[in-house]
Amino acid sequence: MFVNSNFKKKKTKLSENGTSQQQSMNMKEKGLYGSSMIRIETKNLYVKYGTTIGVNNVSVPIYNGNVTALVGPSGCGKTTFLRALNRMHDLSRDAVVTGKVLLDDLNIYDPKVNPVSIRRKIGMVFQKPTPFPTMSIFDNVVAGLKLVGIKDKKFLNEVCEKALIQAALFDEVKDRLNNPGGSLSGGQQQRLSIARALAIEPEVLLMDEPTSSLDPKSTLKIEDLMVELKKNYSIVIVTHNLAQAGRISDYSIFMYLGDMIEFGKTKDMFQNPKDKRTEEYLTGKFG
Amino acid sequence: MHQAQTNTDIIKKPLPIIYRWLGDKIFLTVVFILGLSIIFLAFSMAWVLYSEGRLAINEFGVIGFLKGSVWDPGVRMVFGALPFIFGTFITSVVALAIAFLPAIAIAVVIAEYAPKWIGNIIENFVHLIAAIPSVVVGIWGIFVFAPWMRETVYMPIFTFTANNYPSLLPVLGNPMGYGMTTATIILALMIIPFTTALTRDAISQVPKEQREAAWALGATKWEVIRMAVLPYARGGILAGAMLSFGRAIGETMAVAMLIGNKNTFPFSILGPAATMPSVIINEFREAVGNLHLSSLMAIGLALFVISLIVNLIAAYITRKLSITGGQVV
Ligand SMILES: Nc1ncnc2c1ncn2[C@@H]1O[C@H](COP(=O)(O)OP(=O)(O)O)[C@@H](O)[C@H]1O
Ligand SMILES: [Mg+2]
């Protein structure tokens, strides 16, 4: 009931603005969208670096319990879009964000909203693994919890173990949780970064090319992980690797030169791209 | 000029042979000679100190000299370095302890909090402090700082102690303004710039990714600094602390002007004391007899060795704790 009415509201809002959304909101997909709630929705989102436009008027929903892939050629604004979803642009002076990003109907750019609390709800994993090199594996995982003053050792142990299991790293590190995070291999470090993001139990997980610097085996592990994680999280993943997007994502957003060209179910988009540019990208004509 | 020359021509044009061959050789030779002469210089200094100090070392023995707590050039002609080693150790350790956190705090303000132009002003100001000749610091200490400390800090403490805990007075010492505490505080001020400068450099080397990782966990600005920035910069911070410590050990003029120059135990908190450099500079020209002069040289040698050891430890710690490319090395 609730889901449906929510969906209708979203639908009318969506069709009010933007042309690119309308095409993906056809009747065929209605049933599919109705089955899952919208977790994040951007509305007329712009990100500008001075005069360079990084993201140009993007309005798109991110569905709960799904993996949404952001694809497009290098420099098209994928990272810029992703970082707008948890206010990471606040940290650089040159990026200006306008428009809305609704997290469960709350505009995260509302002046009353504390960006710190937003980042705890919307976790992020970066392209390069970023363990804190001076901290042990354990301390890395629970870093986000210690931040909010949780000191209960038993609780931290439980969370650490759970997050490491979720990140498919536990078996490899369970005997050396006190070793430095920097002592792990690249793939392990990336899974450690994921565990660290999961430990604070965000609602949404943003991942910026999380496997681009990893070997195939680690990549596979992280892909499996995402399929597993989407049961509890909404995941947005930037990827250069179309095969990867095809394997793990439910929805895809294709961006080109800052514009969102196409949004839809990955299966549909990859088989029948509606826009010529999407088709060209998917068939390897550019990018 | 030669319009016909293309880029390829320019790139492929062979360099003059003399430039390539001789350039390498000359550079290598110069570097080699410079490197060797620095090592030679250090050794020859140590040698001079040793040969001049040999008389005292033979007389008292190495251990005996270092452990000797009497320094009496007037009557008994007995020389022991312990009071000065103690004075140097206490003043520099305490000065470092006082200076460490403020120095880091200043660096954090410069690098992270202050608007750029204010940060620049503070930074230049800190550099300026490092550039003040220590004799000028000493004069300021004598005429401004020491009297002020005596009136506003030492005297009240002294009166309070005299009224309430008279038995502690010998430990507290004479509040005349010149003494170990005054010298230590001045020393702390003088070494702050070194820790600050190296900390600030280290902070600016922390990769953006590390900060962002902390932001993404919901850290506030201060938490980012505490969790990602300072730990990553710890190698540089400690290098700065060790550099400061080395400066404190070797600082001569300002300390000699302010410490009160008392050559024998017992030292007290506010009362006069002496350090290894201060006794050398104070007694060098009025040394009575060869043994006295030789003892001062032996103190110089000890100072040289201690500084060397501090530097080696510093280099080791810094290497051990530095982080490159996200790895602890
Ligand atoms: N910090 C920045 N300052 C200025 N321009 C930037 C900055 N970051 C990205 N851009 C520009 O924004 C556009 C989108 O970049 P980005 O989002 O990183 O693309 P992608 O992740 O898809 O490769 C590019 O043209 C890039 O040059
Ligand atoms: Mg990118």
HEC sequence for chain A: CHHHHHHHHHHHHHHHCCCHHHHHCCHHHHHHHHCCCEEEEEEEEEEEECCEEEEEEEEEEEECCCEEEEECCCCCCHHHHHHHCCCHHHHCCCEEEEEEEEECCEECCCCCCCHHHHHHHEEEECCCCCCCCCCEHHHHHCHHHHHCCCCCHHHHHHHHHHHHHHCCCHHHHCCCCCCEHHHCCHHHHHHHHHHHHHHCCCCEEEEECCCCCCCHHHHHHHHHHHHHHCCCCEEEEECCCHHHHHHHCCEEEEEECCEEEEEEEHHHHHHCCCCHHHHHHHCCCCC
Q: How far apart are CA A25 and CA A58, in angstroms?
A: 15
Query: Does residue A120 form part of some domain?
Result: yes
Query: Does residue A24 form part of some domain?
Result: yes
Per-residue pLDDT, A186: 84
Average pLDDT rounded to a whole number, residues B44-62? 89
Query: With contact defined as beta carbons under 8 Å apart, do B327 and A131 qualify?
Result: no
Ligand nearest to the CA of A259: 1
Q: Residue B90 burial (CB < 10 Å; 0-12/13-18/19+)?
A: middle
Query: With contact defined as beta carbons under 8 Å apart, do A84 and A55 qualify?
Result: yes
Q: Residue B30 burial (CB < 10 Å; 0-12/13-18/19+)?
A: exposed
List the domain range (segments joined by +) for residue A140.
2-282
Supply the mean pLDDT for chain B. 87
Average pLDDT rounded to a whole number, residues A82-101? 90
> Are residues A133 and B232, on separate chains, in Cβ contact within 8 Å?
yes
Q: In what order do the strands lie in the sheet with A95-103?
A: A52-63, A38-49, A95-103, A106-107
Q: How many structural domains are present in chain A?
A: 1
Per-residue pLDDT, A287: 57
Residues in chain A closer than 8 A to B210 (CB atoms): 130, 132
With a Cβ cut-off of 6 Å, ligand 1 is lined by A 49, 52, 54, 72, 74-80, 92, 94
Domains of chain B: 44-324 (1.10.3720.10)
Residues in chain B closer than 8 A to A116 (CB atoms): 218-220
Q: Nearest CA to A124 among B225, B228, B215, B210?
A: B215
Q: Report the relative pairing of strands A106-107 and A122-125 from DSSP bridges.
A: unpaired
Q: What is the CATH number of the domain that holds A77?
A: 3.40.50.300
Better-predicted residue by pLDDT, A24 or B322: B322
What pLDDT band is residue A36 in, cutting at 50, 70 and 90? Answer: low
Residues in chain B closer than 8 A to A143 (CB atoms): 214, 217, 227
The partner residue sitting opposite A126, judged by closest CB among B209, B220, B223, is B209
pLDDT, tens digit, 9 for 90 and up, residues A212-245: 877 888 888 888 888 888 888 899 999 988 889 9
Average pLDDT rounded to a whole number, residues B216-226? 91
Per-residue pLDDT, A20: 41
Per-residue pLDDT, B324: 65
Q: How far apart are CA A43 and CA A12, in angstroms?
A: 13
pLDDT, tens digit, 9 for 90 and up, residues A44-79: 999 999 889 999 999 999 998 899 999 999 889 999
Q: Which residues of A touch B (CB under 8 A)?
A: 86, 88, 91, 116-117, 119-120, 123-124, 126, 128-135, 143-144, 147-148, 180, 182-183, 189, 193, 196-197, 200
Q: Check whether A271 has a pLDDT greater than 60.
A: yes
What pLDDT band is residue A13 in, cutting at 50, 70 and 90? Answer: very low
Per-residue pLDDT, A11: 38
Average pLDDT rounded to a whole number, residues B127-147? 92
Secondary structure of chain B in the HEC alphabet?
CCCCCCHHHHHHCCCCHHHHHHHHHHHHHHHHHHHHHHHHHHHHHHHHHHHHHHHHHHHHCHHHHHHCCCEECCCCCEECCHHHHHHHHHHHHHHHHHHHHHHHHHHHHHHHHCCHHHHHHHHHHHHHHHHCCHHHHHHHHHHHHHHHHHHHHHHHHHHHHHHHCHHHHHHHCCCCCCCHHHHHHHHHHHHHHHHHHHHHHHHHCCCHHHHHHHHHCCCCHHHHHHHHHHHHCHHHHHHHHHHHHHHHHHCCHHHHHHCECCCCCCCCCCCCECCHHHHHHHHCCCCCHHHHHHHHHHHHHHHHHHHHHHHHHHHHHHHHHCEECCEEC
Q: Check whether B167 has a pLDDT greater than 90.
A: no
**Closest Cα in chain B, distance from residue A50 (Å):** 20
Weakest mean pLDDT among B228-232, B264-268, B279-283: B264-268
Per-residue pLDDT, B5: 65
Amino acid occupying residue B225: I
pLDDT, tens digit, 9 for 90 and up, residues A138-185: 999 999 998 888 888 999 999 999 999 888 888 889 899 998 888 888
Q: How far apart are CA A60 and CA A71, in angstroms?
A: 14
Q: How far apart are CA A287 and CA A215, in angstroms?
A: 22
Q: Which residues of B touch A (CB under 8 A)?
A: 209-220, 223, 227-228, 231-232, 234, 323, 326-328
Query: Does residue A83 form part of some domain?
Result: yes
Query: Does residue A287 form part of some domain?
Result: no
- Nearest residue (by CA) to ligand 1, atom 3, is A49
Better-predicted residue by pLDDT, B168 or B46: B46
- Nearest residue (by CA) to ligand 1, atom 6, is A49
What pLDDT band is residue B24 in, cutting at 50, 70 and 90? Answer: confident
Q: Kindly provide the ipTM of the predicted complex, given to two decimals.
A: 0.80
Q: Check whether A4 has a pLDDT greater than 50.
A: no
Q: Check whether A22 has a pLDDT greater than 70.
A: no
Better-predicted residue by pLDDT, B64 or A26: B64
Query: With contact defined as beta carbons under 8 Å apart, do B251 and B187 qualify?
Result: yes
Residues in chain A closer than 8 A to B220 (CB atoms): 116
Q: Which residue of A has its CA nearest to B233?
A: A134
Please state the pTM of the whole predicted model.
Answer: 0.79
Q: Check whether A16 has a pLDDT greater than 70.
A: no
Per-residue pLDDT, B33: 92
Query: Does residue A244 form part of some domain?
Result: yes
